[in-house]
């Protein structure tokens, strides 16, 4: 039922294990005889690994942050639409068949992402739930406006699929908002990460 949608919690667990191996390999290297430039590269890589480690072990987006899943759902669509969310070459408008197919497919994946949220949020933070709830207010109207904007810019053969997929996405996200409104009172994880974790971040990353 989750075709093409990753298990974000399991994926981060795998990343933690893989990152630990990379950090151990880096620690085994002695850069003391390297040039200044090479030692800086070594430290930059160490900092990047420490930052990833912090995100995976402390921030834990997939298990703590309900808005993480909103970003996954909406971000999957905006990557195909274009604008400031796209890396590399710009996106040509009107959209061709391939890019329109990407927009439609991303919208259709939204129910799977919402299912992942209900499974993964085992330590939800209520303040983060509030962010998601606010963003998802009147989500149906927002998707209808998106369809109005996109329809003249996609092939005629795709307009009905676009409208159908947008309705699926909006309905799913609306249901997610309703679920969050009910589940929020049971979310008791602290928003603050604590002084020791923050001090570690400052000392090792910043």
pLDDT, residue 4, reads 73
Q: Tell me, what's the pLDDT at 88? A: 54
DSSP type of residue 92: P
CA distance 95 to 155: 7
Predicted pLDDT at 93:
82
What pLDDT does residue 83 have? 65
pLDDT value of position 175: 98
Q: Which residues of the chain have pLDDT under 50?
A: 1
pLDDT value for 143: 97
The token duo for 141 is 């109207």
**94 cis-preceded (ω within 30 degrees of 0):** yes
Q: Quote the pLDDT of residue 84.
A: 57
Using left for φ > 0, alpha for ψ between -120 and 50, and beta otherwise, residue 56 falls in alpha
Q: Which H or E run contains 39?
A: helix 36-54
> Which class for 124: exposed (0-12), middle (13-18), buried (19 or more C-beta within 10 A)?
buried
């Amino acid at each position: 039922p989750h075709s093409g949608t990753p298990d974000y919690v399991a994926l981060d667990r795998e990343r933690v294990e893989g990152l630990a191996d990379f950090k151990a390999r880096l620690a085994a290297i002695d850069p003391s005889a390297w040039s200044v430039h090479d030692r800086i590269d070594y430290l930059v890589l160490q900092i990047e690994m420490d930052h990833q480690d912090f995100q995976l072990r402390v921030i834990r987006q997939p298990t703590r942050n309900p808005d993480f899943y909103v970003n996954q759902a909406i971000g999957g669509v905006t990557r195909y639409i274009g604008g400031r969310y796209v890396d590399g070459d710009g996106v040509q408008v009107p959209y061709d068949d391939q890019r329109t197919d990407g927009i439609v497919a991303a919208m259709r994946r939204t129910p799977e992402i919402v299912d992942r949220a209900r499974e993964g949020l085992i330590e939800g933070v209520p303040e983060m739930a509030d962010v998601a709830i606010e963003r998802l207010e009147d989500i149906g109207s927002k998707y209808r406006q998106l369809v109005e904007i996109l329809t003249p810019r996609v092939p005629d053969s795709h307009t009905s699929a676009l409208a159908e997929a947008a309705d699926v996405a909006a309905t799913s996200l609306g249901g997610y908002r309703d679920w969050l409104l009910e589940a929020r009172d049971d979310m008791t994880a602290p928003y603050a990460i604590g002084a020791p974790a923050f001090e570690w971040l400052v000392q090792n990353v910043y």
